[in-house]
Structure 1
Amino acid sequence: MEVGGVVANIVNLDRVSKGYGAAGQLLTDVSLGLDDADRIGVVGLNGAGKSTLLRMLTKQEEPDDGRVTHRRDLRVLWLPQSLTLDAEATVRDVVLGTAWLAQSMGAEHEWAGDAGVRAILDGLGMPHLGLDQPVGPMSGGERRRVALAALLVREADLLILDEPTNHLDVGGVDWLARHLVTRKGALAVVTHDRWFLDAVCTTTWEVADQTVRAYEGGFAAWILARAERQRVAAATEARRQNLLRKEIAWLRRGPPARTSKPKFRIDAANALIDDVPPPRDTMSLQRMATARLGKQVYDLADVRLHAGPKEILHGTTWQVGPGDRIAILGRNGAGKTTLLRMLAGITRPDGGRFHTGSTVKPAFLSQELAELPGHLRVLEAVEEVARRVQLGDREISAAQLAEVFGFDDRRLWTPVSDLSGGERRRLQMLRLLAGEPNVLLFDEPTNDLDTDTLAALEDLLDSWPGTIIVASHDRYLIERVTESAYGMFGDGRLVHLPGGVDEYLARAAAAGGPAPADLTPATAGADRSGMSAAEVRTARKELGKLERQVARLEQKEAALLEQLATHATDYARVAELDAQLKELRAERERTEEAWLGLAEQLPEG
């Protein structure tokens, strides 16, 4: 449905249409409104028109048809995806002066004092910046965070942010979410960070099919509502629908890092998920082949590692085993990329013992896209790695594999240099997986990916049989696909974090970072169950581990049943397999009982 405007709106779009030559028509006859208390998350596929919608909301771009109206004297501030700062300007010039606010509308602003600016810069992960430091030598991420700080120190009736979490670490995303929750005024934000959408937004606008549909609630509510709409319409292909059904199953079963309960009746989705398998069972993408992984993956003893003069690891001892699923958490610059490059064999430690298992075949997904062969076409870039790949129980061609990753016949012959950022990221992953690795090393894998592509990536990683080590600021991805976490705090340590992201934020705050806060009202203080917020979080993490253990046991049971059918005439082998099956079923029953007992102790939600 389309959203109708009302008189009280501060911004109205009336029958707006917009298109661009080669890109085609993006929006057609869209009418919607935004009032002074709205907190809107804008989602949709890459290229659907999300940024175009924001530019029209700000009046930076005019529609082809229809009109955009603002309330009189409306103060609007916005952060575009790309911006240019004067290289000679200082942080003070940008944040407190007029060196960058050409993109903002509204004239007069209340200027914050230096203490307020410092608090915002610290929260955004830049405590080292001085107000008189020039922006010219800064990295692109630092310049973008300075520009974001310039908006946050000012008052506005409407704040519009296009990918504000880019270049922020987990702590920075957490701080920004808490800041925006308490900030006065309306908010519209485009982001692929699904945890952030749930933490901040109370309404979701989906940009798709040349229109905009509104849903009450954040990402969790939107994914459920979209599933119901697609089920009722019955207009979505089976593969996409299965992916969506699985996402719903995880939202109800997995680690409940939901910061607000969906304001949407869930029973409408029950029909969709009654027969959905556990999150780590057979996927719609099936299991890609991997090289056999031995008992040892990585063994570090008293390892020292530097990035230039900066010490990353000091006397670190760490073991990584087969099937481990590990998240590496840390501020920007803490050394996460340097650690992954060492594990990938690109660099060597400066001291200590670093041993890689003889069967390890790593694949390193870096943050850079320059490693892609821009002179080749998509299919040629895949065939450069492998012409045929084992996917599940069948062998498929490079063209068929490319289709699994969203490259249809029209895009197979597109030059790599002409692909969008999201498409290049997908191609990068495709080429890595085509090499059939058994260890995945991911450095910010969610950059440039829309929410649907992220769901497809997580769907693939759900049943990945090898080892996964991922450095990411995407809390949703971390809590979805990893089972243990380690923190890097800039002091040479690699610290095990049994409490995951929550423990990382607490430790970072204790070390002088932005103080974490629980954004879930239902878990503030003691719960009605009698459990404290910390006890609830710990119990839910344990519940997630038990769920994954049950899923793995079910997979093993299915494999044993297949072997029993295969060896039905070999009575000795049948007896052996039957004994294994009984033992496995007993273990699964004990695990399920433990899960049920823990689930009954926890509050709903």
Structure 2
Amino acid sequence: MVNLVNLESVSKSYGVRPLLDDVSLGVAAGDRIGVVGLNGGGKTTLLEVLARIAEPDSGRVSHTRDLRIAVVTQRSDLTEGTVRDAVLSHYTAEHEWAADARVRSIVDGLGISALGLESEVGRLSGGERRRVALAAALVGELDLVVLDEPTNHLDVEGVRWLADHLIARQIALVVVTHDRWFLDTVCTQTWEVVGGRVEQYEGGYADWVFARAERARLAATAEEKRRNLARKELAWLQRGAKARTSKPRYRVEAAEALIADVPAPRDSVELLAFARRRLGKTVLELEDVSLDAGPKPLLDDVTWRIGPGDRIGLVGVNGSGKTTLLRLLAGDTTPKAGRRIEGKTVRLAHLRQELDDLPGDLRVLQAVEDVAARVQLGKQELSASQLAEKLGFPPARQWTPVDDLSGGERRRLQLVRLLMAEPNVLLLDEPTNDLDIDTLQQLEDLLDSWPGTLVVVSHDRYLVERICDTVVALLGDGKVTHLPGGIEEYLDRRAGAPVKAAPKRAEPTPAKVNAAERRAAGKELARLERKLDSLHDKESRLHTALAEAATDPDRLLKLDAELKAVVAEKDEVEQRWLETSELVE
């Protein structure tokens, strides 16, 4: 494939801090690359240098001739003209763009029609302007699109539309995002910006997690804390998340060996028992409640009971009333009719999208210790400093004055202070905003073992599937609708597709065999298992021999040929074992 963009020995610093240090890489036609890394680590800088928005301090950035590129960064902020001017300026008449199925799909899929084509861009919210900028970039004929956090202002439905659109377009993509479902669904490569370098991995999020954990295991030099988090994340991917990529068998075996001693991410039975002891039978209840959100009814005579240990994900399109419903549950909004009931032992914490007042005269650690010095989160006891570090404040940053924090850091501090109060009911409104993937893993690790009741509003599909046991939706009918099929059922309902109440994988019907055939199959199965054990031992010995023959090219070639033959035979025997095992079940 022809490279569209090349970076050769590129370096870029801000102040004395090098964000890119002698980086060389390329983007080829059709590549779909996800960029990950810590906040402030250089992801946006990499995008801006790659797109020639920012000049490198040294090195060379080259684009292929006549490259058609669109860039939407977090600094892309339209302020003038109408929505039509921004998105459809290439078209002189309505019928021209309306006749183009791709443009119609973009206008509808990103909610541009709902904003109003004649609306003034300057009067839209920041999130709405970002959606307009994204639509304006996508309507053109492109070779490469460069996006910085494009999912931040999209609901779950919009995120899936964007993923489907980018895959169908078959254009090259470089995207910074913390949305792990999006990374796994769209991206075929992952770049990690760390310490001024760009580490390159094949595959999306799941493959990146495995590769990073495997590198740490083999090198035995990575921090134990990060390695344990990666192993727990692998346990989740292996046991809880739907497989989204096909992996070679050796990778599956290696992953299983890596996570063999990792406990399940969450012991739901134990946490439920603990939650009942802390909360009793009554937690939060809405009884015959009606509530309006602006001119529209949000709830119409709804009864909803949230019990101890319930872990609920709340989904709906932007503007459906999710934040208003959280405020009602928190007691900040009074219903038009009906009543809200709160249990006597409830200690409620509500993470709002708006920034609460923080003590600006204190430093970060002091602001956390102002709530408590230590906290018990399930079986974990953490100091104020340890919890702050888990949520993105390394020790050096903990002495920063609160007034000097960015908006994202202030929101993280708000979350740390909420958790330090040891609530037993958490209402979280978009908790993943401004969190990088490492901090998201830390948050999920905390919430996995948190024994309380949780209601979370988030466009981060991965987070909802990871930490919630139940999904409910606001579908605009005045009800709170339980979705047994989770987010996939929600998306099907929104698309008008038939809904499967309990999706199950169709299993092949086993062949009918008589007793004699079953006995013969049993003997064959035992023989195949012995053969597999023998081949596995032989494979291990060949790996050892290859390592010892590193300086002998001729022996390496011979051993490599033997290994390939053993692996091929092992695959064949495994297939026969699978087929035979069906006869004895």
**TM-score for both structures, normalised by structure 1:** 0.77
Aligned pair partner of 2:56 in 60, 63, 67: 63
* 1:329 lines up with 2:321 in the alignment: no
TM-superposition CA deviations, 1:23-44 (whole Å, max 9, x none): x011111111111110111111
Aligned pair partner of 1:204 in 168, 186, 190: 190
- What is the correspondence of 1:95-494 to structure 2 with a 5 Å cutoff? 95-97=87-89, 112-113=97-98, 116=101, 117-256=103-242, 258-262=243-247, 265-281=251-267, 292-390=278-376, 397-494=383-480
TM-superposition CA deviations, 1:504-561 (whole Å, max 9, x none): 1111122xxxx7999xxxxx99967479xxxxxxxxxxxxxxxxxxxxxxxxxxxxxx
Query: Which secondary structure does the structure 2 equivalent of 1:411 belong to?
Result: helix
CA gap 1:480/1:516 in 2 versus in 1, 3 angstroms: farther
Measured in 1, the distance between the counterparts of 2:15 and 2:57 equals: 12
* 1:12 lines up with 2:6 in the alignment: yes
Q: Does the 8 Å contact 1:290/1:438 carry over to 2?
A: no
Query: Which secondary structure does the structure 2 equivalent of 1:300 belong to?
Result: strand
Measured in 1, the distance between the counterparts of 2:407 and 2:246 equals: 33
Query: Which secondary structure does the structure 2 equivalent of 1:265 belong to?
Result: helix
Shift of 1:170: 0.5
Measured in 2, the distance between the counterparts of 1:209 and 1:392 equals: 34
CA gap 1:148/1:290 in 2 versus in 1, 3 angstroms: farther
Measured in 2, the distance between the counterparts of 1:461 and 1:232 equals: 29
Q: Does the 8 Å contact 1:118/1:127 carry over to 2?
A: no
Aligned pair partner of 1:78 in 59, 71, 76: 71
Q: Does the 8 Å contact 1:125/1:168 carry over to 2?
A: no
TM-superposition CA deviations, 1:173-232 (whole Å, max 9, x none): 011111111013211110000000111111111111211111111100110011101111
- What is the correspondence of 1:558-569 to structure 2 with a 5 Å cutoff? none
CA gap 1:431/1:489 in 2 versus in 1, 3 angstroms: same
CA gap 1:391/1:84 in 2 versus in 1, 3 angstroms: closer
TM-superposition CA deviations, 1:373-408 (whole Å, max 9, x none): 334310121122223434567865433443444433
Q: Does the 8 Å contact 2:233/2:441 carry over to 1?
A: yes
Higher relative contact order (CA 8 A, sep 6+): 1
Aligned residue for 2:26? 33
Q: Does the 8 Å contact 1:326/1:484 carry over to 2?
A: yes
Aligned residue for 2:574? none
Q: Does the 8 Å contact 2:356/2:414 carry over to 1?
A: no
Query: Which secondary structure does the structure 1 equivalent of 2:230 belong to?
Result: helix
TM-superposition CA deviations, 1:95-119 (whole Å, max 9, x none): 02289xxxxxxxxxxx844765443
**TM-score for both structures, normalised by structure 2:** 0.80
TM-superposition CA deviations, 1:273-295 (whole Å, max 9, x none): 1111111159xxxxx99992111
RMSD of aligned C-alpha atoms? 2.8
Shift of 1:410: 1.4
Aligned pair partner of 2:85 in 58, 71, 93: 93
Q: Does the 8 Å contact 2:374/2:382 carry over to 1?
A: yes
Q: Which runs of 5+ in 1 are unaligned?
A: 1-6, 100-110, 283-287, 519-523, 532-599
Q: Does the 8 Å contact 2:308/2:453 carry over to 1?
A: yes
Aligned residue for 2:548? none
CA gap 1:405/1:166 in 2 versus in 1, 3 angstroms: closer
Query: Which secondary structure does the structure 1 equivalent of 2:114 belong to?
Result: coil
Measured in 2, the distance between the counterparts of 1:400 and 1:75 equals: 47
Measured in 2, the distance between the counterparts of 1:336 and 1:147 equals: 25
Query: Which secondary structure does the structure 1 equivalent of 2:246 belong to?
Result: coil
Q: Does the 8 Å contact 1:175/1:516 carry over to 2?
A: no
Shift of 1:336: 0.4
Query: Which secondary structure does the structure 2 equivalent of 1:128 belong to?
Result: helix
Query: Which secondary structure does the structure 2 equivalent of 1:93 belong to?
Result: helix
TM-superposition CA deviations, 1:237-293 (whole Å, max 9, x none): 22221111100111100031x4323468233333321111111159xxxxx999921
CA gap 1:404/1:81 in 2 versus in 1, 3 angstroms: closer
Shift of 1:411: 1.6
CA gap 1:422/1:246 in 2 versus in 1, 3 angstroms: farther
Q: Does the 8 Å contact 2:36/2:43 carry over to 1?
A: yes
What is the identity percentage for the equivalent residue pairs of Structure 1 and Structure 2?
60
Measured in 2, the distance between the counterparts of 1:86 and 1:353 equals: 43
Shift of 1:416: 1.9
Measured in 2, the distance between the counterparts of 1:506 and 1:230 equals: 40
Query: Which secondary structure does the structure 2 equivalent of 1:385 belong to?
Result: coil
Q: Does the 8 Å contact 2:329/2:340 carry over to 1?
A: no
Query: Which secondary structure does the structure 2 equivalent of 1:318 belong to?
Result: strand
The one-letter amino acid paired with 1:277 is P
Measured in 2, the distance between the counterparts of 1:525 and 1:250 equals: 20
Query: Which secondary structure does the structure 1 equivalent of 2:289 belong to?
Result: strand
Q: Does the 8 Å contact 1:289/1:391 carry over to 2?
A: no
Query: Which secondary structure does the structure 2 equivalent of 1:77 belong to?
Result: strand
How many residues align? The count is: 499
CA gap 1:412/1:462 in 2 versus in 1, 3 angstroms: same
TM-superposition CA deviations, 1:422-452 (whole Å, max 9, x none): 4333322110011110001011111111111
Query: Which secondary structure does the structure 1 equivalent of 2:303 belong to?
Result: strand
The one-letter amino acid paired with 2:87 is V
The one-letter amino acid paired with 2:245 is S
Measured in 1, the distance between the counterparts of 2:133 and 2:317 equals: 19
Q: Does the 8 Å contact 2:11/2:57 carry over to 1?
A: yes
TM-superposition CA deviations, 1:71-103 (whole Å, max 9, x none): 11111101011223234x11110002289xxxx
Q: Which runs of 5+ in 2 are unaligned?
A: 269-273, 511-580
CA gap 1:167/1:396 in 2 versus in 1, 3 angstroms: closer
Measured in 1, the distance between the counterparts of 2:74 and 2:508 equals: 44
Q: Does the 8 Å contact 1:112/1:153 carry over to 2?
A: no
Q: Whose Rg is larger?
A: 2
- What is the correspondence of 1:536-555 to structure 2 with a 5 Å cutoff? none
Shift of 1:354: 1.6
Aligned residue for 2:537? none
Q: Does the 8 Å contact 1:291/1:361 carry over to 2?
A: no
* Deviates further, 378-387 or 395-404: 395-404
